[in-house]
Amino acid sequence: MKYQIVIAGIGGQGAVFLVKVLSIAAGLKDQKCLGTENHGMSQRGGSVSCYVKIGNFYSPAIDEGQADLLIALEGNEGLRNIQYLKKDGGTIVVNADDSFPNLEYKTIKIDAFAKATKGDLPIQALNVYMLGVALAKDPHFPFNVKEIEEAIRVMNAKVADKNIAVLHSAIEDSRSV
Amino acid sequence: MKQIMMGNEAIALGLIHANVDMISGYPGTPSSEIIGNFQKFSKQFGCDTYAQWATNEKVGFEVAYAGAMTGKRTCTTLKQVGLNVASDALMSASYIGHLGAMLLVSADDPGFHSSQTEQDSRSFAKFAKIPVFDPSTPQEAYDMVKIALDLSQKFQTPVMLRPVMRVSHAREICEVDESVDFKPNNGEFIRDIGRWAAVPPRGRFAQGVEQLKRIDEIAKHNWENFIKPKADKLKGSKTLCLTSGTGDGYVREAIEDMDIKADVLKLDIPYPLPKKEIERLFDNYENVIVFEETYPCIEEQLSSPKLHGKLTGDVHKIDEFSKDKVVKAFSNIGLTETNKSYQNEKYGGEVPVRPPNLCPGCPHRDVYYSIMKVFRKKKSIYPSDIGCYTLGLNQGAIDTVLCMGASIGMASGFSIADKSKTVIASIGDSTFTHSGVAPLINAVYQKHKFILFIMDNSVTAMTGRQATPERVNPGVVNLKNIVEGCGATCMEHIYTPDLDESINFMKEVKKKFETTEGPLVAIVREFCVLDKERAPQMLPGIYAEVDPDKCVACDICTTQYKCPPMHYNDEHKIEIDPFLCIGCDACIDDLCPTDAFIERKPK
C-alpha cells in the first residue's frame, strides 16, 4: 500500500500534530511511514504544509500530482497546495464555506469555522476535526477509527478523551456532507 | 526496537547510544531540537551529561572541542549559518585534532525555509578538511551518529553530520537500540603543548601536512568501508547516479515512478572521496549524474567527460530538491523523453499570500509601532537583526537584515556614512548576547551616535523558545549591567500592552538621545506570547472587537499595526478574527483614531 497525504494550514492550527498522529498510527500498524513538517518562520501565522507518506518511500517530500489526500485546515491554504493532488483520484478535505470554488478534484467541504463560532467545536481541535472528516469521507483513508483513536492516546493521553470526542463529532457531522 | 522519531530526536538518541556526555550548541532552525531531546533522553535514562545552550555557535564549538581534547565524546549542534560563526574554531581544530571524539552537527536548509543563505555545510567540511556524513532519513541520521563518532575517535578529527531540513524535521519509524548502556569516556587533560598550542609557522605547518595525510587515509577508509561494498552490488545499467543525503530518496523514487533504468550509488560520506576508485567505476557507464543538495560538493571532487551535474548545467543549482528536478536532469542529458514531469496545474484563481507575521499580542509589534510614531521614517535608518523581531519588516520598521549581531556594527557604519539621519537599531536579547557585545564596545570607544533597542523577551523565541543566559541566571547575567559595563548609556522600560506608555518611552529616548554622546541603548523588557510560564501573567485576557459604526476604514491598523486578527469584512469594515485574538487589549483605546476597537462583550 502506498498513500500520500499533504496537510496544509496556517501556523498555529496544528498541522504538525496531525503528522505526529498519522505517523504514530502507521507505526502501530507496523507500516512504513515518512513525514515532514515545517518549523521556524512558518510557525508565525504563515502558510504551513506538511507531508505524510505511508508505504515504501525513500524521500519525505511529496511532488506535485502525487498526493492521494489533501487535508486543508483553511480554504486558501487548500487552494495554494491543490497541485500536489493526483490528477485522477486525489481528494481534498477542506475547512471552507460555500464560497470555496468548484475544483476538478473530489472535494469534501465542511465549515469548521462556523461550527467553532457557534461554540460547537473548540478551535484548538480544528485539526483533529478535519482528520475525522477525512477518515469518514475518504474510502481509501489508510486507518480506521480505532487506529486513529489509539494514535491520539499514544500522542497525548491527557487530552486524548477531548480529542477523541471531537473526532467522533466530525465523523457524525460528515454523514450530512 | 522500533520508535517513531523526528530526525533531530533520532540524532539525540544516537548521541546517547554513542556515549556522548557533553553537548553544547546554539539554536538555529532546523537544528534546534537536538539539544532539547538530548536533555530529555539524559533525564529519561538517568545519564549524567552536560547539555547546555552556549551564547553562540563558536562558544558551543569550543566547549565541545575542549571536551574532545581531554578524551571525551562530545557534540556541538548548529545551523549552516551558525557554522560561519564557529568556523574560526573549526578551521584550527581540524589541524590540531583531539584524543576523544567530536561530532559537529550542522543542519542545512535547502530552499531557504528559515535561513538567510542556502550554503552547503558539506562544502564547508571540504574547506576545513574534515569528513562529513550526509544522512537521507532520520533512521540514517541515527545510525550515522554512532559511525561518525567512531570515525572521529579513530582519526582524531572532528567529524561533521550534515542533516538537511527534510531529515531534521522528517518523521520516521526508526529501528533503534533496545537498551541504554551509557559509558562515557573520562575527561583527562594531557599536557601536549607542541600539539594543543602549536605555533606558526613550523608547528602548524607540520599539523597541516598531517591533516593532508589524514584526509587521504579517510578517503581510503571511505572507499573500503562505505563505497566499495555498495559498488560491488551495482546492476550494470548504462547510467550511474551518484547521490548524497536526501538527493538519494528523490532519485530512487523518481526512477521507480518513471520507469527509468539507472544504477544508484549513494555516498554516505560525500567528502573526502577516493577520486581514482570512483572514477574507475565510470568505465562501466555511458553517463554519470550527481544528485546532491545544494552545492556541487561531490561533483567538484571528480572529473570525467561522462560526469553531469550542477557544473555542467544539467542539475538545478538553487532551491530544494524534488523528484521533478531529477526527471528534468535526465531529460536535459537526453536520457528520457522531455514530456516526463511531475508538474501539475496550480489553482488558476487568486490566492492571497500569507507571509509570516508577529504573533497576535506580540510586544515587538507595539515597540515597532511606537518607534515608527516617534522616529519618522524619512529621517531615520533602521538596521535590525536575526530573530522574530525581523518580522517588524511588515510594519516598515526595518531597513537592513544581514546576519547575527550585524544591527550594531551596521548602525556604527550608517552613523558615520549618513549623518543626516538618526540610526535606530533593534536586536533581540539572545542575539545581543550571541554577537552584540563586541560591536557595542566598538561603538562606545569610537563614540558612534545611534540608538539601540534591545527587545528582551527573555527567550530565543524564533527557534522554539530556548532559554537565554539571563533567563537561566536572573540577577547574575543582567543585560543592563552588560550594556553599562561596555560603557554605553542605558535606559530601561518594562513593556505593558498600553500603546501610549510605549510611545511615551520612545519620546523619552528621543529626548535623552539629544544629549548622549555615543550609542544610547534602550532595553525594553518584553515577554513572548508563546511563553507558557510568563505570558499568562502578562496578558490581561481582554479581547477586542470592532464597533462597525465607528470604523471609517482608515487603514491605520492594517498598514501600521498589522495584528493578524485584523482584516476587512465584506462590508469593508475592520473585523477581529475571534479565533486569533489573544486578549492583549493593546489595540483598545490608543490605536484607532475613531476608537472603533472595543472590548468584546460576552455573548
Ordered structural domains, chain B, with CATH = 2-197 (3.40.50.970), 233-332 (3.40.50.920), 363-537 (3.40.50.970), 540-603 (3.30.70.20)
**Is A87 within 8 Å of B344 when comparing Cβ atoms?**
yes
pLDDT of amino acid A37: 86
Q: Check the CA dihedral B315-B317-B323-B328 and report its sign.
A: negative
CATH number at residue A77: 3.40.920.10
**Is B252 within 8 Å of A26 when comparing Cβ atoms?**
no
* B308 vs B330: CA distance, rounded Å: 10
pLDDT of amino acid B353: 87
Cβ contacts of B360 within 8 Å, gap of 6 or more: A45, B529, B563, B564, B565, B580, B581, B582, B584
**Is A64 within 8 Å of B342 when comparing Cβ atoms?**
yes
Does residue B584 have a pLDDT over 90?
Answer: yes
For residue B376, give the nearest of B410, B418, B422 by alpha carbon.
Answer: B422
Q: Which residues of A touch B463 (CB under 8 A)?
A: 40
Q: What is the CA A2 to chain-centroid distance, rounded?
A: 17
For residue B33, give the nearest of B176, B229, B202, B171 by alpha carbon.
Answer: B171
Per DSSP (E only), the strands in B333-383 are 380-381
Does residue B349 have a pLDDT over 70?
Answer: yes
Q: Is A99 on the interface with B (CB under 8 A)?
A: no
Give me the amino acid identity at B66: A
Tell me what percent of the residues of chain B surpass a pLDDT of 90. Answer: 96
pLDDT of amino acid A41: 65
- ipTM field: 0.95
Distance from CA of A172 to the nearest CA of B (A): 23
* B140 vs B179: CA distance, rounded Å: 19
The confidence band for B603, taking pLDDT boundaries of 50, 70 and 90, is: low
**Cell numbers 526595518 correspond to what residue?**
B398
> A161: how many CB neighbours lie within 10 A of its CB?
11
Q: What is the pLDDT of residues B554-572, one digit of tens each?
A: 999 999 999 999 999 999 9
pLDDT of amino acid A46: 82
**Phi then psi dihedrals of residue B76, to 5 deg:** -130, 145
Q: Is A84 on the interface with B (CB under 8 A)?
A: yes
Q: Yes or no: say if B387 and B28 are a contact pair by the CB < 8 Å rule.
A: no
Coil, helix or strand at residue B295: coil
Report strand pairing: A69-72 vs B159-161: unpaired
pLDDT of amino acid B547: 97
pLDDT of amino acid B26: 98
Q: Yes or no: say if B13 and B41 are a contact pair by the CB < 8 Å rule.
A: yes
Distance from CA of B360 to the nearest CA of A (A): 9
Coil, helix or strand at residue B458: coil
Tell me what percent of the residues of chain B surpass a pLDDT of 70. Answer: 100
Q: Is A88 on the interface with B (CB under 8 A)?
A: no
pLDDT of amino acid A40: 59
Coil, helix or strand at residue B318: coil
Grid cell digits, residue A114: 462556523
Our count of domains for chain A comes to: 1
Coil, helix or strand at residue B357: coil
Q: Which residues of A touch B6 (CB under 8 A)?
A: 37
**Is B249 within 8 Å of A59 when comparing Cβ atoms?**
yes
pLDDT of amino acid B542: 96
**Is B248 within 8 Å of A60 when comparing Cβ atoms?**
no
Does residue B250 have a pLDDT over 70?
Answer: yes
Q: Is A140 on the interface with B (CB under 8 A)?
A: no
Q: Which residues of B touch A63 (CB under 8 A)?
A: 322-324, 342
Q: What is the pLDDT of residues B106-131, one digit of tens each?
A: 999 999 999 999 999 999 999 999 99
Q: Which residues of A touch B462 (CB under 8 A)?
A: 40-41
Q: Is A118 on the interface with B (CB under 8 A)?
A: no
Q: Is A122 on the interface with B (CB under 8 A)?
A: no
pLDDT of amino acid B206: 97
Coil, helix or strand at residue B34: helix
Question: How far is residue B222 from each of residues B100, B157, B227, B271, B556, measured CA to CA in Å?
Answer: 20, 15, 6, 9, 62
A residues 50-69 closer than 8 Å to B (CB): 57-61, 63-66
Q: Which residues of A touch B173 (CB under 8 A)?
A: 23, 26-27, 32-33
**Is A63 within 8 Å of B323 when comparing Cβ atoms?**
yes
Does residue B277 have a pLDDT over 90?
Answer: yes
The confidence band for B198, taking pLDDT boundaries of 50, 70 and 90, is: very high
Distance from CA of B167 to the nearest CA of A (A): 8
**Is A61 within 8 Å of B166 when comparing Cβ atoms?**
yes
pLDDT of amino acid A42: 58
Range of the domain at A73: 3-174
> B565: how many CB neighbours lie within 10 A of its CB?
20
Distance from CA of A135 to the nearest CA of B (A): 21
Coil, helix or strand at residue B326: helix
CA nearest to A26 within chain B: B173
Average pLDDT of chain B?
96
Q: Which residues of chain A have pLDDT under 50?
A: none
Q: Yes or no: say if B295 and B123 are a contact pair by the CB < 8 Å rule.
A: yes
Q: What is the pLDDT of residues B46-83, one digit of tens each?
A: 999 999 999 999 999 999 999 999 999 999 999 999 99
Residue in B137, B344, B351 closest to A65 by CB = B344
> B345: how many CB neighbours lie within 10 A of its CB?
11
Tell me what percent of the residues of chain A surpass a pLDDT of 90. Answer: 90
Q: Yes or no: say if B588 and B599 are a contact pair by the CB < 8 Å rule.
A: yes
* pTM of the predicted structure, to 2 decimals: 0.96
User: Number of Cβ pairs closer than 8 Å across A and B?
Assistant: 142
Residue in B173, B321, B347 closest to A32 by CB = B173
DSSP state of B389: G
Q: Yes or no: say if B421 and B490 are a contact pair by the CB < 8 Å rule.
A: no
Does residue B207 have a pLDDT over 80?
Answer: yes
* B49 vs B187: CA distance, rounded Å: 13
